[in-house]
Amino acid sequence: MDEQPNDIDILLSDAGDYLETRTKLWKLKGIESLVDVSSELVTGLGLICLLSTVVIMFSVGFALLLGEWTGRGYYGFFIVGMVYIFIGLICFIRRARWLKEPFSNMLIRKILK
């Protein structure tokens, strides 16, 4: 005689399927978050490289211009270097608010999305 599955067997089988599906969903969501954060970082790094190239070109041009105005070519590079040291100190002092917090918030937002 064939035994018919009782309600508990069906319930346990469905619960196992549910847990397996739920685990797959968590993995896929984790992979999606990782890919989203990675793509954001790669895009940001590409833009930073492009911006850095532009800043270097303008810096050299401005340093040459200042050197011509002061009469000594190397004075322009010293002046531009001092400006960058000043900007770097300001960024170093404000790094937590300007860099750490926005980056952390972006990562959290992307991961919890």
Domain annotation covers residue 25: no
70-91 CB burial, b ≥16 within 10 A, e <16: eeeeeebbebbeeeeeeeeeee
Is the entire prediction scored with pTM above 0.75? no
How many domains does the chain divide into?
1
Domain annotation covers residue 55: yes
pLDDT one-digit tens code per residue, 60-94 = 999 999 999 999 989 999 999 999 999 999 988 98
Domain annotation covers residue 78: yes
Domain annotation covers residue 20: no
Cα gap 69→75, rounded to integer Å:
9
pLDDT one-digit tens code per residue, 86-104 = 999 998 898 888 888 888 8
Domain annotation covers residue 3: no
Domain annotation covers residue 2: no
pLDDT for 1: 44
Tokens 């895009």, located at residue = 43
Of all residues in the chain, the percent with pLDDT exceeding 70 is 96
pLDDT one-digit tens code per residue, 9-32 = 777 788 888 899 999 999 988 888
Q: Which domain holds residue 88?
A: 35-112
Domain annotation covers residue 89: yes
Domain annotation covers residue 54: yes
